[in-house]
Structure 1
Amino acid sequence: MKLQQLSILFLYLIMVMSCTKTSKEESVSSPEWNKKVFYEIFVQSFADSNGDGIGDIPGMTSKLDYLSDLGIDAIWLMPMSPSPSYHKYDVVDYTGIHPDYGTMEDFKAFIDAAHARDISVIMDFVINHSGYDHPWFQDAMTGKEAKYRDYYVWANKDSIAEQIAKKETSFDSDNIRQWHPVAGDTTQEHYYGFFYGGMPDLNYDNPAVRTEMYNAGKFWLEEIGVDGFRLDAAKHIYPDDRAIDSHAFWKEFKTEMEKVNPDVYLIGEVWADAGTASPYAAGFTSLFNFDRAFSILESINKEKVVAANIAGHGYEIDSSANLAEVINTSLPWFKKYNAEFVEASFLSNHDQNRVASVLGGDQAKIKLSASLLFTLPGTPYIYYGEEIGMLGMKPDENIREPMLWDKVSFDAMRTSWMEADYSTDTSVTSVAQQWSDDQSIINHYKRLIALKKQEVFSLGDIQNLDYKKSGVIAFTRSYKDESVGVVHNLTNQPVELSNALLDKYTTLVWQEGGVERTASTIKLPARASVVYKK
């Protein structure tokens, strides 16, 4: 090779190295998580690339352009690790990929393809418990001297006689038995499993267990390239009477993950009232707001503003409160523990009846629920298929039915691992059909996602506008020098409002439902919404 060619090659290599360095530096710059819109995927039901009836990672990769077109810029993946169950929350290998879903190389390719589209990827990390079939537990069951015995929580049967069937059901578990025997065991010891016997809880009093999980987390962040985790059952790392220990654990977990990615995104599932949940904020980037989801759907169905708060095993409902005041009251509780806390809002997820079914399949109500979600504060999460109005009611399999990409005769990627009872071609209009309909649910979502990207909606504060009219929720969102006024009609009847509270908000930003405005009034049809700015 000539000297001139070598010089050119050398300069080219320097450029490549420089670009690579810049790219790496950019990848670890602080992402603005509160500006993102998340999309939750159950891989098993999402997209099947090889015709075996089971959703897989290459199938997801092929749908990244769809998600990008919709406006999604962050994905939450439900568990993908090896597991004997369809849902895969009983993990048997914390650093593996279930073979039904593909290979680790497939997953790396998915992450690279997502990042190329500026889409972040977080994955479910199920560390409260392992699966019964995990090698650790299989060893632990062999006796008190087993190598991994202390990876789990054990107690003599006599010492827990009153606790064996003591636990009541809760929002995140309908199991009432928390201590479980081992078949054929003569030690008289039971193991602790909050959710059920097939999911034995790990013992986080054991430093070796903590190290195992920290190493597993670092593997996914550093070796594979995920951007963070959704932490399942975060409230139950220790029993509820040891909540302070749980708070401390998550702070330590966050510190360990930040060692390999200072901008790691950690969102916790803490299904509890705001007062109970707020101390967990110290160990997370974000927490799901379960109260908000219930409040939105309940307000629409009751046709009046409802503020709900988890209490015991149900919800306390306050029809005299308003959502803006509730947000402004509770958010500081979380900020006290984490000044950078990002609230996560949603309508439903894989553990709850689907939004469209809760709202009776009424398209106007479905659109209104999305309008509320995206105009209220919080980083929004969309459960796959929610954007096309997929239906589903428990048991859990029926809220995790196959995604409808097209009519079944044209849908080569529809999964068939289960037969859908709710979301079928006769009950739900597919993605392909809805894209061409400007008034469809999916296009409504697309417009709202674009609206949410405006800083006033992603970063702004909220103040109530009191129209003193049942069935109307109105508020302002403000950020820096920008302010918008938002009005939603929760009822199935048109409402006419005075312009007085919005007299300074004169420019139409967005509307749904054909809102009319005169010099003195604003007229909202049934289930309509409107946004004006100053």
Structure 2
Amino acid sequence: MSAKDARTFWFRDAVVYQIWPASYKDSNNDGIGDIQGIISTLDYVKSLGVNTIWLSPMYDSPQVDMGYDISDYQNVYPPYGTLQDMEELIRECLARGIKLILDLVINHTSDQHAWFQESKKNKDNPKRDWYIWRPAKYDAETGERIPPNNWRGALNQSAWTWDEATQEYYLHLFTPQQPDLNWTNDECRRTLYTDTIEFWLKKGINGFRVDTVNLYSKPMDFPDAPITDPDAKWQIGDSVFCNGPRMHEYLQEMGAIFAKYDAMTVGELPATPNVEDVIRYISAERSELSEIFQFDISILGRSAADFYATHPYTLKELKEVVERWQRFVEGTDAWPTVFLENHDLPRAISKYASDKPEHIAASGKMLALMETGLTGTLYLYQGQEIGMTNVPTTWSHEEYKDVIAINYYRDAATRSSNDPTVLKKTLEDINRQGRDNARTPMQWTAASNGGFSTDASTVPWMRANDNYTSINVAAQEDDEESVLAFYRKALAVRKQYASLLGRGEFRLLERDDQQVFKYVKIAEGGKDGDAGARAFAVLNFSDMPQEYQVPEEAGGSKARVLLGSLEDGQPGKLRAWEGRMYVYEP
């Protein structure tokens, strides 16, 4: 049997729980989450109905970008623990039947990585070509030295930094402390495969979330990006440097390794809007990636040219995004993902529903019902299961820790000469879209800082969300009407009806309704119009009561309630932010 044929595709029934190590559980009272803290909560994670953990970067790092700037792929950031702690975590997950996937960050390293330190020594160094170095250009009129092209980096600056010692620029699509690797160098690429992928697979992990997976292959003539912002010196280059000429060649090399270990991969795939292009990445026959995160749902209401600029979006737009990425794999050998939150996104309740205190619990349960009825591998982010929300709008800009938010606010202050109106709007945008919303400490109890540390006097690395006294695990453990209790119930139902909910086909109903989201699920292998099992979900995305009927195509009056997000629900009526799911089994 070939390696490709040996794959079990276990990930298709996975429910994945993402852990952000810095903010999850602090076991030694230093204010930073750690691996031993994760180990201490594994029984809790398993109790949710989760069978896989995705652990965000825990590698050794200067932490310029929260661990996505890696200085040593084979060691652990000391405040998180040791390599031995990671080996213990792998063993403890295995003992509970929980699979473990890690972040794979190999588009770039930290500038403190030994490889880059060698690369920058001189132009003749053997590792010089492991990174992307280019000579300067010069302005035809002024003679001023300028970067090789107009690409914009993550901090709204040039994607190139000048190295005075060797008199060349190096490329970094993210911060200047995250130089991009040169994937055209065969030795560099082979070393990445052995030292970052196989090193951890041999230790017993089960796969990777692959960071920025379509950036590895750049056009090596480095053309300018199209000018989409005439007022900006540096331009967004996604259309130029995403999905480059050798991208699929590299992923097939990697895919052969993943297949050998029956490992799953979920790729972060920005700037890939065409379904046909996405399918190429995740076709089972091609053996590149298992699945991808497609971010149309997360960019709803967000400006294409500005990460933080926001605008209203409609429920119809949300429905159509869900429909598009539920149905794009039909008739193919590819597989979708289902998610609303991760470490880079605002909290789902705040973005898609209502975080007014009186609506938080209902909103959290309604969104849980929506997600657990969708087809694909389901991803939950720490705290989502208890209804954590965005941080309060009263926080000042000093509370934010994310490098992008800090620079965005500083740039706005500089450009506007500290205009109060501009800074107020900037802070509002950061509050709505900022990555720090997801990175506040996990809320375990009503004790100081949400019980994140065992010593109440410990000051955490980041301020806890002010609502930890009312939204926390301990308060919900014995509350049968809590968001936590509902997630456990909903995930158990999803497992029981896997062929209908997790693997069935999605059909959107009444797309123009701007208050209620309705969809039908057809059981795996079924067809439109046949007499097979059906599920019907009806979700009130408003703070006003709504009425509905179970459609005949979902069993009509013969369908029974499978799951309701609020207690004592009335048939045909939904309260604010309430959801209900029916099943029909002929």
For normalisation by structure 2, the TM-score amounts to 0.75
Residue 431 (structure 1) aligned to one of 473, 477, 486: 473
Alpha-carbon spacing, 1:330–1:509, altered in 2? closer, same or farther (3 Å) = closer
Q: Deviations over 1:6-48 (max 9, x none)?
A: xxxxxxxxxxxxxxxxxxxxxx872521221111111122112
Match of 1:107 in 2: 86
Residue 494 of structure 1: aligned partner: 545
Corresponding residue for residue 524 of structure 1: 574
Partner of 2:136: 157
* SS of structure 2 residue aligned to 1:146: coil
Aligned-pair distance for 1:500? Answer: 4.7
Equivalent-residue separation in structure 1 for 2:97 and 2:580 (angstroms): 30
Deviation at 1:273, TM superposition (A): 4.5
CA displacement 1:50-102 (0-9 Å, x = unmatched): 22222211211110000011111111111111111171111111111222222
Q: Distance in 2 between matches of 1:499 and 1:125?
A: 44
Equivalent in the alignment of 1:302: none
Deviation at 1:379, TM superposition (A): 1.7
Of the candidates 323, 347, 352, which is equivalent to residue 354 of structure 1? 347
Aligned 8 A contact 1:345 1:380 in 2: yes
Distance 1:79 1:498 in 2: 46
Encode CA deviations 1:273-300: one digit per residue, 9 max, x unaligned.
Answer: 53154433252101113223455xx7xx
Q: Counterpart of 1:512? A: 565
Among residues 140, 157, 160, which one is paired with 1:176 in the alignment? 157
Name the residue aligned to 1:342: 335
Q: Does 1:290 align with 2:260?
A: no
* Corresponding residue of 2:493: 451
The match for 1:234 is: 213
**1:54 and 2:32 equivalent?**
yes
Picking from 445, 448, 451, the partner of 1:406 is 445
Deviation at 1:147, TM superposition (A): 2.1
Runs of 4+ in 1 over 4 A off after TM superposition: 159-165, 310-336
Q: Determine the C-alpha separation between the residues in 2 that align with 1:256 and 1:497.
A: 50
| Inter-partner Cα distance in structure 1 for 2:160 and 2:17 | 36
Deviations 1:355-402 (A, max 9, x none): 244343431223322222222223221111122222335644453121
Note the 1:272-291 alignment, pairs <5 A. 272-275=271-274, 277-282=278-283, 283-291=288-296
Identity among equivalent positions (%) equals 28
Name the aligned partner's letter for residue 208 of structure 2. F
In the alignment, is the contact (CA less than 8 A) between 1:177 and 1:196 conserved in 2?
Answer: no
Secondary structure of 1:132's match?
coil
Aligned 8 A contact 2:282 2:334 in 1:
yes
Structure 1 unaligned regions, length at least 5: 1-27, 299-307
TM-score w.r.t. the length of structure 1 is 0.82
Mapped pair 1:418 → 2:469: no
Distance 1:316 1:430 in 2: 31
* Matched residues, number: 481
Q: Are 1:190 and 2:166 an aligned pair? A: no
Q: Matched residues in 2 for 1:523 and 1:392: separation? A: 29
In 2 relative to 1, CA 330–110 (structure 1 residues): closer, same or farther, beyond 3 Å? closer
The letter for the 2-side match of 1:507 is R
Residue type of the alignment partner of 1:98: Y
Cα gap change, 1:250 to 1:500, in 2 (>3 Å): closer
CA distance in 2, matches of 1:403, 1:58: 15
User: For residues 368 and 287 of structure 1, what CA distance do their matches in structure 2 show?
Assistant: 25
Q: For 2:512 and 2:295, how far apart are their aligned partners in 1?
A: 26
- Larger helix proportion, structure 1 or 2? 1
Distance 1:457 1:91, change over 3 A: same
Say if 1:326 and 1:198 are closer, same or farther in 2 by CA, change over 3 A.
closer
Deviation of 1:491 after TM superposition, in Å, equals 1.7
Which structure 2 segments of 5+ residues have no match? 1-5, 140-144, 219-237, 392-399, 406-434, 525-531
State whether residues 285 and 340 of structure 1, in contact with CA within 8 Å, keep that contact through their aligned partners in structure 2.
no
Structure 2 counterpart of 1:206, from 185, 196, 203? 185
Alignment partner, residue 124 of structure 2: 145
Aligned-partner SS, 1:458:
coil
